Amino acid sequence: MSRTFLGLPRTLRRPDDVAAGPDEPFGAVPHPQAPLRWGDAFPEAARQTLKNGQLRRNLGHATQVIRAKRAAVVSEVPDWEALRDAGSALKERVMAELPELLAELEENVTARGGVVHWARDAAEANRIVAEIAKAKGADEVVKVKSMATQEIGLNEHLAAEGVAAIETDLAELIVQLADDMPSHILVPAIHRNRTEIRDIFLARMGDAPPDLSDVPRELAMAARAHLRRKFLSAKVAVSGANFGVASTGTLAVVESEGNGRMCLTLPETLVTVMGIEKLVPSFEDLEVFLQLLPRSSTGERMNPYTSLWTGVTPGDGPSEFHLILLDNGRTDVLADTVGRAALHCIRCSACLNVCPVYERVGGHAYGSVYPGPIGAILTPQLTASTGGVSGHHDVNAALPYASTLCGACYDVCPVKIDIPSILVDLRAREVDADRSRRGVDPWAAAMKAASWVMSDGGRFGLAGRVATLGHALGGRDGVIRVAPPPASAWTRSRDLPAPPSQTFRQWWAKEHGRPADEGDDE
């Protein structure tokens, strides 16, 4: 059993930093080279985002709204806990039988006229998409919102290949127009309020009505008008997938606006990028996840639109369908007995919405397209092969500290991922890796010193009297905000209650006229 240090590690810099230029009015975060590792390390990034009062107000409002909606629709389901149990076990089964289920999915998609590709990493997946788009002569593809394509940086790769990727989900469109990065799994523009969105549309959309107001309905109508022609003329669409049914080869996309349906239905060619963990064993298993997902994510009984398709249906929808099965670090996550549960995630984002840390620092502070509690366990593990879990100099190893371990994320997770336990496990590994690198272990040294002090009554009493000197460091409210080293390591990220002006022993001696360790003879 390893000891776990619960404080934040030292600030590190991420390797691919690109500073935001002063000429960038909207995008505080320009597109990074590595979608799973960008910006400052969490402690420093959080320090920066915490200064943004507007961001905190926007996030506070949005997460409060969604928490209430989720709670209301979850409370009306009498068998919610039974559904969570089933969802959790189903995902565990998927992981245990993944080789067989992947082969089954591939066989069924192929039998129904689809083409299955495999991608070891982001570069391979990007290359496959670009080749398909170019083979179709498309210089433009329409996109359904997809975390997998965010994770591999598909849009940037396609742009480099001369293919424009057009995001059609409203929030993704806002992020794309602002040249920003997503800050939430479900609502990538959650850090923007309606007025900021209006300003982005007016400045960047091109065809936004000049008298556009900041009423959400008007903003949605502007997006509808803007994208209509693109939908009707697009030749190639790119999507992710929420679920892939192994036993039938059926894929599912869950959405609200109809942009998903447009992309999945109208273009001649559809390319779907799906992480290998997104499987469910059989069609009937959808009855579990299609109950868990909408109530947990948008707080609706059911999302407006869910599309299911199996290969190619002659005369209805795309005549060519490609499925790309993506690893990109997932097998490293799967290899971890504790951490593999992170792959059960169905990307509902409920854990973000309840997280007290996420609500205050926002998604960009996590430096990954997967922010919040799930991101804090997923991002380091997905980047394990490049040091994400235990790399002393890897900023992603700091992410498991981006939590108070309050457990709210576990309570709301529809597939019962024990995020706090995985966070603690990842912290332990970061500490262990650190220990083996450094000659002197300050934690062990401190423990040894404490043991020497506490093993002798005289030494302990003296130490207590010395500690009361710290009382002077406290403010009028009895809180120390900046302590001298080595206690500064603690107060860098949190307050410390000031020690009392006298120790318990001193108080006892004063009250009873004799030292506490002489006992009571009566």
Partner 1 sequence: MSDARTEVLSRVRAALGRPGAGTTPAGLIGAAPRDVIVPREYRGAGEHPAGSPEVREQLVDRLVDYKAHVQQVAEADLPAAVATLLSSLSEEGQVTVVVPHGLDKAWLAGMGDGVEVREDSPAAPLPASELDAADAVLTAARVACSETGTIVLDGEPDQGRRAISLVPDVHVCVVRAEQVVQTVPEAVRRLGAYPERPQTWISGPSATSDIELDRVEGVHGPRTLHVLLVPPS
| C-alpha triplet 118, 123, 124: angle, nearest 5° | 25
What Cα–Cα distance (Å) separates residue 457 from each residue in 446, 467, 517?
19, 15, 8
Q: Which of 95, 145, 507 is nearest to 342 (CA)?
A: 95
Cβ distance to partner 1 smaller for residue 270 or 408 = 270
Cβ distance to partner 1 smaller for residue 306 or 403 = 306
Cβ distance to partner 1 smaller for residue 189 or 377 = 189
Q: Which of 251, 255, 256 is nearest to 317 (CA)?
A: 251
The least CB distance from residue 92 to partner 1, in Å, is 5
Residue 441 token pair: 């272990």
The least CB distance from residue 337 to partner 1, in Å, is 5
Amino acid of residue 105: L
Q: What are phi and psi of 35, to 5 degrees?
A: -65, -10
The least CB distance from residue 217 to partner 1, in Å, is 5
Quote the CA–CA distance of 358 and 404 in Å, as a whole number.
10
Cβ distance to partner 1 smaller for residue 258 or 464 = 258
Cβ distance to partner 1 smaller for residue 250 or 503 = 250
Amino acid of residue 63: T
Cβ distance to partner 1 smaller for residue 174 or 346 = 174
Are the beta carbons of 24 and 30 closer than 8 angstroms?
Answer: yes
The least CB distance from residue 110 to partner 1, in Å, is 12
Cβ distance to partner 1 smaller for residue 228 or 512 = 228
Cβ distance to partner 1 smaller for residue 40 or 327 = 327
Cβ distance to partner 1 smaller for residue 15 or 258 = 258
Q: Which of 185, 196, 193 is nearest to 61 (CA)?
A: 193
Q: Which residue is listed with tokens 């990538």? A: 188
Cβ distance to partner 1 smaller for residue 45 or 352 = 352
Dihedral sign computed on CA atoms, order 67, 38, 151, 89: negative
3-state helix, strand, coil in the chain (%, to 5): 50, 10, 40
| C-alpha triplet 251, 301, 362: angle, nearest 5° | 80
The least CB distance from residue 306 to partner 1, in Å, is 4
Q: Which residue is listed with tokens 């996840």? A: 289
Dihedral sign computed on CA atoms, order 92, 96, 100, 106: positive
Cβ distance to partner 1 smaller for residue 144 or 357 = 144
The least CB distance from residue 309 to partner 1, in Å, is 5
The least CB distance from residue 143 to partner 1, in Å, is 13
| C-alpha triplet 338, 341, 344: angle, nearest 5° | 175
Cβ distance to partner 1 smaller for residue 220 or 482 = 220
The least CB distance from residue 11 to partner 1, in Å, is 25
The least CB distance from residue 345 to partner 1, in Å, is 17
3-state class of 316 per DSSP? strand
Residue 340 token pair: 């593999």
3-state class of 140 per DSSP? strand
The least CB distance from residue 376 to partner 1, in Å, is 18
In terms of DSSP bridges, do strands 269-275 and 320-326 run parallel, antiparallel, or are they unpaired? parallel
The least CB distance from residue 247 to partner 1, in Å, is 8
In terms of DSSP bridges, do strands 164-167 and 496-497 run parallel, antiparallel, or are they unpaired? unpaired
Going by the DSSP 8-state scheme, the letter that residue 173 receives in this structure is H
Q: Which residue is listed with tokens 């490049």? A: 386
The least CB distance from residue 216 to partner 1, in Å, is 4
Distance, CA of 471 to chain centre: 40
Cβ distance to partner 1 smaller for residue 167 or 434 = 167
Taking the alpha carbons at both ends of the chain, their separation in whole angstroms is 44
Q: Which residue is listed with tokens 């949005």? A: 62
The least CB distance from residue 210 to partner 1, in Å, is 20
Q: What are phi and psi of 445, to 5 degrees?
A: -65, -45
Does the bond joining 356 to the residue before it have cis omega, within 30 degrees of 0? no
